[in-house]
Structure 1
Amino acid sequence: MLPLLALTAACTGVAGQTDAAPVRFSLQNTGTTPISCRLIYGHWVERDYGELAPRESRQDSFAQQGDGGLFTMRPDGAARMMIETVQCAQYPDWLGTVGQVDFTPARRGKVRALAARCAMPSQGGRIACEPLEMTTAP
């Protein structure tokens, strides 16, 4: 019975929390108009960061597991919620203006801090996010 419980815990992400390191995340609207942003997890789950006024920032705490994956813990602390991206757009045309933060470079190594900067281009179109600024871990 004990091996079955260990296998179940490993598959649900409850076991093995020691392979994770903290990551500070900041998101800044560098544009001249407000944007709205959401943290997107795997399996169609999201967390709303709300509207960011021009030059406004949001801070968050992530963790990075040994294989580079970024996550936050589920509110009950029982499982990791794997981060796919952050999407930003402007209402009422979310689909026509949505842009996203590319976390791919952060997943390739060990990081301690990530800074994302996004803005609506002055000519309109889709939100543009600069490449992540990364502070790497030793």
Structure 2
Amino acid sequence: MQRSGNAVWRGAGKDGSGTVSTPSGALKEQPYSFRTRFEDESGRAGTNPEELIAAAHAGCFSMATAFQLAGAGFTPEELRTEAQITMTQGAGGWSISAVKLVLRARVPGIDDAKFQELANNAKAGCPVSRVLNAPITLDAKLEG
């Protein structure tokens, strides 16, 4: 199986701009630039690669958690995940230095110890977790 995305960039690094697209149409010529990546703290001016990685990680981890739960005989009512990516600038340039997954879940019939075990299994097994070269922490809580 292969998946793809594409980007078009025009101009120099700081003054240029580009678009990202996916074959599914989920992203269609979505704008991004130096400003949307490094200067716009609100994140409202356009996307950036790290935001897309965060969304991909949140989606991957949520699905991996659902599979872990189902394999253990539990059906989640809802899994809400936020992936928070930390960027740091070092001597070699910018890097993703940490990822924090924040999971809030409603899973009938499960105790917290089993939930934590399965959520941590999902964190370790999620393909996006495995591709990232940064420490990944998990804050998982059951609700309701």
TM-score (norm 2): 0.29
* Higher RCO, Cα 8 Å, sep 6+: 1
Higher helix share: 2
Answer 1 or 2: which has greater strand percent. 1
